[in-house]
Homo-oligomer: A and B are copies of this chain.
Amino acid sequence: MAGTIKEIARIANVSRGTVDRALNDRPGVNKEVAQRIKEIARSMDYKPNSVAKALASRNRQFVIGVLINSIGNPFFDDVILGIEAARQEIKDFGFQLKMRKMRGYNAKEQLELIKTFVNEGIDAFAITPVSDPMIRDALNEMIADGIHVVCFNLDLVGVNYLAYVGCDYYKSGETLGGMIGYITGGKARLGVIACTNNLEGHRMRVEGCQRVLEKEFPQSEIVEVIEAEDNDEIAYQKTLRMLEERKEINALCFNAGGTRGGLQAVRDLGLEKKLDIFTFDLTPAVIEGIQNGIVKSTVCQQPFTQGYQSIKILFDAVLNDVIPENDHLYTDLSVKIKYNL
Protein backbone atom coordinates (compact mmCIF):
# COMPACT_ATOMS: atom_id res chain seq x y z
CA MET A 1 0.00 0.00 0.00
CA ALA A 2 1.70 3.05 -1.31
CA GLY A 3 0.88 5.66 1.33
CA THR A 4 -0.59 9.15 1.06
CA ILE A 5 0.47 12.73 1.51
CA LYS A 6 -1.27 12.73 4.84
CA GLU A 7 0.91 9.92 6.15
CA ILE A 8 4.05 11.55 4.90
CA ALA A 9 3.00 14.76 6.62
CA ARG A 10 2.49 12.95 9.89
CA ILE A 11 5.83 11.20 9.72
CA ALA A 12 7.71 14.31 8.67
CA ASN A 13 5.89 16.38 11.25
CA VAL A 14 4.81 19.00 8.76
CA SER A 15 1.51 19.93 7.17
CA ARG A 16 0.02 18.32 4.09
CA GLY A 17 0.46 21.58 2.22
CA THR A 18 4.19 21.51 2.78
CA VAL A 19 4.44 17.94 1.60
CA ASP A 20 2.55 18.81 -1.56
CA ARG A 21 4.83 21.76 -2.21
CA ALA A 22 7.97 19.74 -1.61
CA LEU A 23 6.96 16.76 -3.70
CA ASN A 24 5.92 18.92 -6.64
CA ASP A 25 8.91 21.26 -6.46
CA ARG A 26 6.68 24.21 -5.84
CA PRO A 27 8.35 27.33 -4.46
CA GLY A 28 8.38 28.27 -0.81
CA VAL A 29 9.73 25.36 1.10
CA ASN A 30 12.95 25.01 3.02
CA LYS A 31 15.53 23.00 1.13
CA GLU A 32 16.34 20.64 3.93
CA VAL A 33 12.73 20.06 4.83
CA ALA A 34 11.98 19.34 1.18
CA GLN A 35 14.86 16.90 1.10
CA ARG A 36 13.62 15.10 4.17
CA ILE A 37 10.09 14.88 2.81
CA LYS A 38 11.28 13.46 -0.49
CA GLU A 39 13.36 10.94 1.36
CA ILE A 40 10.38 9.74 3.34
CA ALA A 41 8.27 9.60 0.21
CA ARG A 42 10.85 7.46 -1.53
CA SER A 43 11.29 5.17 1.45
CA MET A 44 7.60 4.39 1.58
CA ASP A 45 7.42 4.12 -2.19
CA TYR A 46 4.89 6.91 -2.40
CA LYS A 47 2.94 7.17 -5.66
CA PRO A 48 0.58 10.10 -6.07
CA ASN A 49 -3.01 9.12 -6.69
CA SER A 50 -3.76 10.51 -10.11
CA VAL A 51 -7.49 10.35 -9.58
CA ALA A 52 -7.35 12.56 -6.54
CA LYS A 53 -4.88 14.79 -8.30
CA ALA A 54 -7.24 15.28 -11.19
CA LEU A 55 -10.17 16.01 -8.98
CA ALA A 56 -8.30 18.55 -6.94
CA SER A 57 -6.93 20.48 -9.87
CA ARG A 58 -10.23 20.39 -11.66
CA ASN A 59 -10.70 24.12 -11.45
CA ARG A 60 -7.66 24.45 -13.64
CA GLN A 61 -8.66 23.18 -17.08
CA PHE A 62 -5.83 21.74 -19.12
CA VAL A 63 -5.86 22.31 -22.85
CA ILE A 64 -4.33 20.01 -25.44
CA GLY A 65 -3.98 21.49 -28.90
CA VAL A 66 -4.19 19.22 -31.93
CA LEU A 67 -3.15 20.26 -35.42
CA ILE A 68 -3.88 17.64 -38.02
CA ASN A 69 -3.25 17.48 -41.69
CA SER A 70 -6.49 15.76 -42.41
CA ILE A 71 -8.59 17.75 -44.84
CA GLY A 72 -9.09 15.82 -48.05
CA ASN A 73 -7.27 12.75 -46.78
CA PRO A 74 -9.63 10.02 -45.58
CA PHE A 75 -6.78 8.17 -43.91
CA PHE A 76 -7.10 10.57 -41.03
CA ASP A 77 -10.73 9.73 -40.30
CA ASP A 78 -9.67 6.86 -38.06
CA VAL A 79 -6.91 8.91 -36.50
CA ILE A 80 -9.54 11.41 -35.46
CA LEU A 81 -11.69 8.63 -34.03
CA GLY A 82 -8.74 7.68 -31.84
CA ILE A 83 -8.33 11.27 -30.73
CA GLU A 84 -12.02 11.48 -29.86
CA ALA A 85 -11.85 8.26 -27.87
CA ALA A 86 -8.97 9.67 -25.85
CA ARG A 87 -10.88 12.91 -25.38
CA GLN A 88 -13.73 11.00 -23.74
CA GLU A 89 -11.40 9.22 -21.39
CA ILE A 90 -9.63 12.31 -20.15
CA LYS A 91 -12.38 14.87 -20.04
CA ASP A 92 -13.34 13.98 -16.47
CA PHE A 93 -9.76 14.73 -15.55
CA GLY A 94 -10.34 18.33 -16.55
CA PHE A 95 -8.74 18.05 -19.97
CA GLN A 96 -10.02 19.85 -23.00
CA LEU A 97 -9.03 19.28 -26.62
CA LYS A 98 -8.75 21.99 -29.21
CA MET A 99 -8.42 20.51 -32.69
CA ARG A 100 -7.68 22.34 -35.92
CA LYS A 101 -7.53 20.71 -39.32
CA MET A 102 -5.59 21.79 -42.37
CA ARG A 103 -5.15 20.66 -45.94
CA GLY A 104 -1.90 19.67 -47.57
CA TYR A 105 1.67 20.26 -46.54
CA ASN A 106 2.27 24.00 -46.63
CA ALA A 107 4.81 24.95 -43.99
CA LYS A 108 3.85 28.63 -43.77
CA GLU A 109 0.23 27.85 -43.30
CA GLN A 110 1.08 25.34 -40.61
CA LEU A 111 3.36 27.82 -38.89
CA GLU A 112 0.53 30.34 -38.67
CA LEU A 113 -1.73 27.79 -37.04
CA ILE A 114 0.98 26.83 -34.57
CA LYS A 115 1.30 30.47 -33.58
CA THR A 116 -2.42 30.73 -33.06
CA PHE A 117 -2.28 27.81 -30.67
CA VAL A 118 0.63 29.30 -28.76
CA ASN A 119 -1.13 32.62 -28.42
CA GLU A 120 -4.26 31.02 -27.08
CA GLY A 121 -2.24 29.21 -24.46
CA ILE A 122 -2.09 25.43 -24.39
CA ASP A 123 -0.52 22.89 -22.08
CA ALA A 124 0.32 20.29 -24.68
CA PHE A 125 0.35 19.93 -28.44
CA ALA A 126 -0.04 17.12 -30.95
CA ILE A 127 0.82 17.74 -34.58
CA THR A 128 1.38 16.08 -37.95
CA PRO A 129 4.39 18.20 -38.80
CA VAL A 130 5.41 19.36 -42.25
CA SER A 131 9.10 18.68 -42.95
CA ASP A 132 10.47 22.18 -42.69
CA PRO A 133 13.07 23.86 -40.49
CA MET A 134 10.61 26.61 -39.63
CA ILE A 135 8.24 24.09 -38.15
CA ARG A 136 11.04 22.33 -36.35
CA ASP A 137 12.17 25.58 -34.76
CA ALA A 138 8.69 26.67 -33.82
CA LEU A 139 8.04 23.37 -32.08
CA ASN A 140 11.33 23.48 -30.23
CA GLU A 141 10.47 26.95 -29.05
CA MET A 142 7.15 25.72 -27.66
CA ILE A 143 8.93 22.88 -25.93
CA ALA A 144 11.42 25.29 -24.40
CA ASP A 145 8.43 27.19 -23.04
CA GLY A 146 7.26 24.08 -21.24
CA ILE A 147 4.59 22.89 -23.66
CA HIS A 148 4.65 19.14 -24.17
CA VAL A 149 4.77 18.14 -27.84
CA VAL A 150 4.03 14.92 -29.68
CA CYS A 151 4.43 14.45 -33.42
CA PHE A 152 2.17 11.86 -34.96
CA ASN A 153 1.90 10.14 -38.32
CA LEU A 154 4.81 12.19 -39.64
CA ASP A 155 8.14 12.35 -37.93
CA LEU A 156 10.30 15.47 -37.93
CA VAL A 157 13.93 15.06 -37.02
CA GLY A 158 15.46 17.62 -34.72
CA VAL A 159 12.36 18.23 -32.65
CA ASN A 160 12.78 17.53 -28.94
CA TYR A 161 9.36 16.03 -28.69
CA LEU A 162 8.06 13.69 -26.05
CA ALA A 163 7.48 11.15 -28.77
CA TYR A 164 6.80 10.40 -32.39
CA VAL A 165 3.74 8.19 -32.74
CA GLY A 166 3.39 6.63 -36.14
CA CYS A 167 4.65 3.94 -38.41
CA ASP A 168 8.17 3.09 -39.40
CA TYR A 169 7.93 4.18 -43.02
CA TYR A 170 10.95 2.27 -44.18
CA LYS A 171 9.58 -0.92 -42.69
CA SER A 172 6.19 -0.27 -44.22
CA GLY A 173 7.90 -0.09 -47.60
CA GLU A 174 9.74 -3.32 -46.95
CA THR A 175 6.51 -5.00 -46.02
CA LEU A 176 4.92 -3.86 -49.23
CA GLY A 177 7.92 -5.15 -51.13
CA GLY A 178 7.54 -8.53 -49.48
CA MET A 179 3.89 -8.79 -50.42
CA ILE A 180 4.58 -7.70 -53.98
CA GLY A 181 7.25 -10.33 -54.27
CA TYR A 182 5.01 -13.06 -52.89
CA ILE A 183 1.96 -12.24 -54.94
CA THR A 184 3.64 -11.54 -58.28
CA GLY A 185 5.72 -14.66 -57.91
CA GLY A 186 8.80 -12.48 -57.69
CA LYS A 187 8.35 -10.97 -61.14
CA ALA A 188 7.06 -7.47 -60.62
CA ARG A 189 7.42 -4.63 -63.09
CA LEU A 190 6.27 -2.03 -60.64
CA GLY A 191 4.82 1.42 -61.07
CA VAL A 192 4.76 3.48 -57.88
CA ILE A 193 2.33 6.31 -57.20
CA ALA A 194 3.95 8.11 -54.29
CA CYS A 195 2.95 11.14 -52.27
CA THR A 196 5.60 13.78 -52.68
CA ASN A 197 9.32 13.57 -52.45
CA ASN A 198 9.28 16.34 -49.87
CA LEU A 199 8.02 14.06 -47.17
CA GLU A 200 10.89 12.07 -45.81
CA GLY A 201 8.63 9.31 -44.60
CA HIS A 202 7.17 8.71 -47.99
CA ARG A 203 10.58 8.71 -49.57
CA MET A 204 11.70 6.04 -47.14
CA ARG A 205 8.66 4.00 -48.00
CA VAL A 206 9.78 3.77 -51.61
CA GLU A 207 13.32 2.94 -50.56
CA GLY A 208 12.20 0.15 -48.26
CA CYS A 209 10.18 -1.42 -51.02
CA GLN A 210 13.05 -1.11 -53.46
CA ARG A 211 15.51 -2.73 -51.11
CA VAL A 212 13.38 -5.81 -50.55
CA LEU A 213 12.67 -6.24 -54.23
CA GLU A 214 16.35 -5.96 -55.10
CA LYS A 215 17.53 -8.27 -52.41
CA GLU A 216 14.85 -10.91 -52.20
CA PHE A 217 13.14 -10.77 -55.56
CA PRO A 218 15.90 -9.82 -57.99
CA GLN A 219 13.75 -10.52 -61.02
CA SER A 220 11.58 -7.58 -59.98
CA GLU A 221 12.14 -3.92 -60.62
CA ILE A 222 10.59 -0.54 -60.05
CA VAL A 223 9.80 0.85 -63.47
CA GLU A 224 8.75 4.35 -62.52
CA VAL A 225 7.82 6.48 -59.52
CA ILE A 226 5.38 9.35 -59.88
CA GLU A 227 4.17 11.87 -57.33
CA ALA A 228 0.47 12.42 -56.77
CA GLU A 229 0.55 14.77 -53.79
CA ASP A 230 -2.34 13.02 -52.04
CA ASN A 231 -4.63 14.32 -54.78
CA ASP A 232 -7.09 12.12 -56.66
CA GLU A 233 -7.15 14.23 -59.81
CA ILE A 234 -3.37 14.34 -60.15
CA ALA A 235 -3.16 10.64 -59.35
CA TYR A 236 -5.69 9.87 -62.06
CA GLN A 237 -3.88 11.82 -64.77
CA LYS A 238 -0.40 10.63 -63.93
CA THR A 239 -1.42 7.00 -63.52
CA LEU A 240 -3.16 7.10 -66.87
CA ARG A 241 -0.09 8.53 -68.50
CA MET A 242 2.26 6.08 -66.85
CA LEU A 243 0.22 3.02 -67.78
CA GLU A 244 -0.03 4.17 -71.40
CA GLU A 245 3.64 4.88 -71.75
CA ARG A 246 5.00 1.91 -69.84
CA LYS A 247 3.25 -1.15 -71.15
CA GLU A 248 5.64 -3.46 -69.30
CA ILE A 249 4.15 -2.53 -65.94
CA ASN A 250 2.35 -5.49 -64.35
CA ALA A 251 2.00 -4.21 -60.80
CA LEU A 252 1.10 -0.92 -59.22
CA CYS A 253 1.39 0.46 -55.75
CA PHE A 254 -0.27 3.49 -54.27
CA ASN A 255 1.79 4.80 -51.41
CA ALA A 256 -0.47 7.50 -50.02
CA GLY A 257 -3.51 9.63 -50.77
CA GLY A 258 -4.95 9.71 -54.31
CA THR A 259 -5.70 6.02 -54.43
CA ARG A 260 -9.27 6.61 -55.55
CA GLY A 261 -8.13 8.59 -58.57
CA GLY A 262 -5.43 6.13 -59.49
CA LEU A 263 -7.75 3.15 -59.31
CA GLN A 264 -10.18 4.97 -61.57
CA ALA A 265 -7.44 5.30 -64.18
CA VAL A 266 -6.83 1.57 -64.00
CA ARG A 267 -10.52 0.90 -64.49
CA ASP A 268 -10.82 3.33 -67.36
CA LEU A 269 -8.02 1.52 -69.13
CA GLY A 270 -9.64 -1.84 -68.38
CA LEU A 271 -6.48 -3.10 -66.73
CA GLU A 272 -7.97 -4.38 -63.45
CA LYS A 273 -7.36 -8.01 -64.34
CA LYS A 274 -3.91 -7.55 -65.77
CA LEU A 275 -2.33 -5.67 -62.90
CA ASP A 276 -1.51 -6.71 -59.35
CA ILE A 277 -2.35 -3.65 -57.32
CA PHE A 278 -1.09 -2.81 -53.84
CA THR A 279 -1.93 0.04 -51.50
CA PHE A 280 -1.39 1.47 -48.06
CA ASP A 281 -3.95 2.07 -45.34
CA LEU A 282 -7.66 1.39 -45.35
CA THR A 283 -9.50 4.28 -46.91
CA PRO A 284 -12.94 3.69 -48.41
CA ALA A 285 -11.44 3.53 -51.91
CA VAL A 286 -9.00 0.85 -50.79
CA ILE A 287 -11.65 -1.18 -49.00
CA GLU A 288 -13.81 -1.10 -52.08
CA GLY A 289 -10.86 -2.06 -54.24
CA ILE A 290 -9.97 -5.02 -52.06
CA GLN A 291 -13.55 -6.25 -51.92
CA ASN A 292 -13.79 -6.02 -55.71
CA GLY A 293 -10.56 -7.92 -56.04
CA ILE A 294 -8.84 -5.03 -57.80
CA VAL A 295 -6.49 -4.44 -54.88
CA LYS A 296 -4.57 -7.49 -53.69
CA SER A 297 -3.30 -6.27 -50.35
CA THR A 298 -2.76 -3.17 -48.28
CA VAL A 299 -0.34 -2.31 -45.50
CA CYS A 300 -1.97 -0.60 -42.53
CA GLN A 301 -0.43 1.49 -39.78
CA GLN A 302 -3.02 1.64 -36.98
CA PRO A 303 -4.51 5.09 -37.51
CA PHE A 304 -6.80 4.84 -34.48
CA THR A 305 -3.88 4.04 -32.21
CA GLN A 306 -1.87 6.92 -33.63
CA GLY A 307 -4.56 9.37 -32.58
CA TYR A 308 -5.38 7.74 -29.29
CA GLN A 309 -1.85 7.21 -28.06
CA SER A 310 -0.69 10.69 -28.99
CA ILE A 311 -3.30 12.22 -26.74
CA LYS A 312 -2.79 9.73 -23.93
CA ILE A 313 0.94 10.42 -23.90
CA LEU A 314 0.33 14.15 -23.59
CA PHE A 315 -2.26 13.57 -20.90
CA ASP A 316 0.13 11.47 -18.86
CA ALA A 317 2.87 14.02 -19.28
CA VAL A 318 0.74 16.94 -18.15
CA LEU A 319 -1.08 15.22 -15.31
CA ASN A 320 1.45 12.75 -13.99
CA ASP A 321 4.77 14.03 -15.32
CA VAL A 322 5.26 10.76 -17.15
CA ILE A 323 7.81 10.92 -19.93
CA PRO A 324 7.64 7.99 -22.35
CA GLU A 325 10.73 5.82 -22.08
CA ASN A 326 11.07 5.60 -25.82
CA ASP A 327 10.59 8.69 -27.95
CA HIS A 328 9.61 6.61 -30.97
CA LEU A 329 6.36 4.76 -30.61
CA TYR A 330 6.11 2.81 -33.84
CA THR A 331 2.62 1.59 -34.51
CA ASP A 332 2.08 -1.96 -35.64
CA LEU A 333 2.17 -2.61 -39.38
CA SER A 334 -0.47 -5.04 -40.47
CA VAL A 335 -1.07 -6.55 -43.88
CA LYS A 336 -4.67 -6.79 -44.95
CA ILE A 337 -6.10 -8.89 -47.75
CA LYS A 338 -9.64 -9.60 -48.81
CA TYR A 339 -10.39 -11.79 -45.81
CA ASN A 340 -9.17 -9.85 -42.82
CA LEU A 341 -10.46 -6.40 -43.64
Contacts and interface: CB of A to CB of B under 8 A. Distances in A.
Given A183-B182, A334-B335, A51 B340 contact: no
Interface stretch (A11-19, A143-151, A173-181): A173-181
Contacts of A208: 339
Given A54-B51, A55-B52, A55-B55, A332 B334 contact: yes
A164 interface: no
A250 to B, nearest CB: 15
Contacts of A212: 339
Contact of A335 (B49, B55, B171, B337): B337
Given A49-B92, A51-B51, A185-B185, A172 B340 contact: yes
Interface string A301-341: 00000000000000000000000000000001111111110
A93 B296 CA distance: 46
A336 B339 contact: no
Contacts of A182: 182-183, 296, 337
The residue in A174, A335, A339 that gathers the most chain B C-beta atoms within 10 A of its C-beta is A339
Contact of A334 (B93, B177, B334): B334
A299 interface: yes
A159 B69 CA distance: 45
A50 interface: yes
Given A51-B54, A55-B55, A336 B337 contact: no
B55 A337 contact: no
Given A51-B92, A54-B51, A178 B338 contact: yes
Contacts of A93: 51
Contact of A55 (B51, B179, B300): B51
Given A182-B182, A183-B182, A185-B185, A337 B51 contact: no
A171 B51 contact: no
A178 B335 contact: no
B340 A334 contact: yes
Interface in A252-311: 296-297, 299-300
Contacts of A177: 339
Contacts of A174: 339-340
Interface pairs A-B: 3 shortest CB-CB: A334-B334, A333-B340, A174-B339
Interface of A: 49-52, 54-55, 58, 92-93, 171-172, 174-175, 177-179, 182-183, 185, 208, 212, 296-297, 299-300, 332-340
Given A182-B337, A332-B340, A335-B336, 15 more contacts: A50-B92, A51-B54, A51-B58, A51-B93, A52-B92, A55-B55, A175-B337, A177-B339, A178-B337, A178-B338, A179-B337, A182-B182, A182-B296, A297-B335, A332-B334
8 contacts: A49-B55, A51-B51, A51-B92, A55-B55, A171-B339, A178-B337, A212-B339, A297-B335
